[in-house]
Amino acid sequence: MKSIWTQTTKIPGRNPLPGNKKTEVAVIGAGLFGILAAHYLKEQLEQAGLTARYDREFFHEFVTEGDTDSGLILKALEEKGILGGLPLNDREILWCATEQNRKEDIDQAAQIVKEVCGE
């Protein structure tokens, strides 16, 4: 499966670290592509009529709020075979995206949200 992120994003090559390193914490495979997918999803959901609940940096997860009932949005996504976010209440949804989410899938989900929200 080809990913839009690997096809369109230019990441500079990196040489391996020389020798052995000791560290308290190592984050391996945290994924620039996952971050890009999550930020793209947020942008598309905002264009579809939802608003970011918190104006701060995020990694893979973020919360949106809107005037449309969360249950209606998630049900419409589920009917198309899309696992939406986690409803936090009747107006807020916790979303998550990773490098496994393809651009066309994100676009489809955002289009469904837009239709449900009446945008």
pLDDT above 90 (res 18): no
The pLDDT tens digits for 68-106 are 999 999 999 999 999 899 999 999 999 998 888 889 999
The pLDDT-based confidence of 10 (bands split at 50, 70, 90) is low
Q: In the chain, pLDDT over 90 holds for what percent of residues?
A: 54
At residue 93, the 3 state secondary structure works out as strand
Q: Is the dihedral of CA 22, 25, 29, 31 positive or negative?
A: negative
Give phi and psi for 13, each to the nearest 5. -65, 150
pTM across the whole model: 0.74
